[in-house]
């Protein structure tokens, strides 16, 4: 089974379905053992390798770090000149996350949560949105007028709500189009 699958013993799970028997007095033929050999799928390793290959095809030199923290597979991409992988307002990053997630989930046969960050873009973006939320809250407190922020995706709106959730003087709400 290992040679057919071209895998090592560490990469598979083996279950014995039937124990072999020698037969009866050498007259009746015996039965061969039946085993089930299943590949152990490592979503984090697969995601990292898949994304590295994709980035390599884009002629970008980068390193992918993978972490499986039990909640999600987290991928971090490090390197120089990562702007092309991030794209305008993180659109390319979101597309790469979506494609990697599709590849991993298809291979796993089930949903595997996956988060991709390139050059700490998400962290910097979160800090930037939190600062914007706090500045807007100060403006609301000083003027007494509501402040309308530019349209944001759901994840960015969530950052605004979380940042201002403990401020009792400010109320936040979203309008979805």
pLDDT tens for each residue of 121-145: 989 999 999 999 999 999 999 999 9
What average pLDDT is seen over the chain? 88
Query: What is the pLDDT, as a whole number, of residue 2?
Result: 78
Q: In what order do the strands lie in the sheet with 73-79?
A: 62-68, 73-79, 114-118
Distance CA(152)–CA(128), nearest Å, equals 13
Asked whether residue 99 carries a pLDDT value surpassing 80, the answer given is yes
Query: What is the pLDDT, as a whole number, of residue 139?
Result: 94
Query: What is the pLDDT, as a whole number, of residue 138?
Result: 93
> What are the Cα distances from residue 28, in Å, to 19, 33, 34?
17, 16, 19
Rounded to two decimals, the pTM is: 0.71
Distance CA(75)–CA(116), nearest Å, equals 5
Q: Quote the Cα angle for 97-101-105, to 5°.
A: 180
Nearest alpha carbon to residue 44 among 64, 61, 58, 62: 64
Query: What is the pLDDT, as a whole number, of residue 15?
Result: 85
Strand, coil or helix: what is 124? helix
Tokens 């490592």 found at: 42
Query: What is the pLDDT, as a whole number, of residue 56?
Result: 93
pLDDT in tens, 11-27: 778 888 888 877 766 66
- Bridge partners (DSSP) of residue 37 are 14
Element (H, E) at 35: strand 34-39
| Cα Rg of the chain (Å, integer) | 26
Distance CA(23)–CA(37), nearest Å, equals 25
Asked whether residue 173 carries a pLDDT value surpassing 90, the answer given is no
Distance CA(130)–CA(150), nearest Å, equals 14
pLDDT band at 39 (very low <50, low <70, confident <90, very high): confident
Q: Which two tokens stand for residue 56?
A: 């390599």
Strand, coil or helix: what is 60? coil
- Determine how β-strand 73-79 pairs with β-strand 114-118: parallel
Distance CA(29)–CA(22), nearest Å, equals 7
Q: Which residue has the higher pLDDT, 1 or 96?
A: 96
pLDDT in tens, 42-78: 899 999 999 999 999 999 999 999 998 888 999 999 9
Asked whether residue 177 carries a pLDDT value surpassing 70, the answer given is no
């Amino acid at each position: 089974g290992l040679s057919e699958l071209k895998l090592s013993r560490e990469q598979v799970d083996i279950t014995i379905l039937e124990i072999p028997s020698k037969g009866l007095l050498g007259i009746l033929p015996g039965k061969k053992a039946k085993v089930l050999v299943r590949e152990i799928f490592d979503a984090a390793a697969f995601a990292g390798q898949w994304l590295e290959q994709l980035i390599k095809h884009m002629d970008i030199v980068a390193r992918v770090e993978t972490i499986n923290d039990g909640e999600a597979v987290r991928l971090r991409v490090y390197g120089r000149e990562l702007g092309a992988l991030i794209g305008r307002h993180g659109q390319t990053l979101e597309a790469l996350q979506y494609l990697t997630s599709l590849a991993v989930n298809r291979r796993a046969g089930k949903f595997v949560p996956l988060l991709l960050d390139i050059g700490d873009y998400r962290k910097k973006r979160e800090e930037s949105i939190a600062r914007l939320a706090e500045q807007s809250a100060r403006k609301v407190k000083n003027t007494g007028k509501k402040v309308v922020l530019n349209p944001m995706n759901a994840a960015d709106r969530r950052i605004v709500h979380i940042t201002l959730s403990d401020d009792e003087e400010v109320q936040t709400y979203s309008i979805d189009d």
